[in-house]
Amino acid sequence: MNEVTLTNANFETEVLKSDQPVLVDFYADWCGPCKMQGPIVHEVSEAIGDKAKVGKLNVDENQEVAQKFNVMSIPTLIIFKNGQAVETMVGVQTKDSLIEKLNKLA
């Protein structure tokens, strides 16, 4: 499964109403650690296949959603299940830890 580009407009449909767990990467283009996290998130999306959805949300372009989930530092990764945030991680995360967390929820 490829990554979904998330926005204020599609967040509810793609994340909160998803019947699968969803990993959301809150990032900004200017953020150095976000640039390190990006390829890892892409690898996770390929490795997890159809068991979960992976999305990326640019906090500069979609401040409404970032504020709603209290994203203060980036990268922040939040896993949602059944419309609820079930795990929040701040800072660069490893591929293995993200896959493990998603597999537990899938």
User: Residues 6 or more apart from 8 whose CB is under 8 A from it?
Assistant: 62, 64, 65
Catalytic residues: 31, 34
Q: Tell me the per-residue pLDDT of 5-16, one tens digit each, with 9 for 90 and over.
A: 999 999 999 999
pLDDT recorded at residue 106: 82
Stretch 84-99: mean pLDDT: 97
Q: Tell me the per-residue pLDDT of 24-64, one tens digit each, with 9 for 90 and over.
A: 999 999 999 999 999 999 999 999 999 999 999 999 999 99
pTM, two decimals, is 0.96
Q: Structural domains in the chain?
A: 4-105 (3.40.30.10)
User: Residues 6 or more apart from 84 whose CB is under 8 A from it?
Assistant: none
Reading across the β-sheet that carries 53-58, which strands appear in turn?
4-6, 53-58, 22-27, 76-81, 84-90
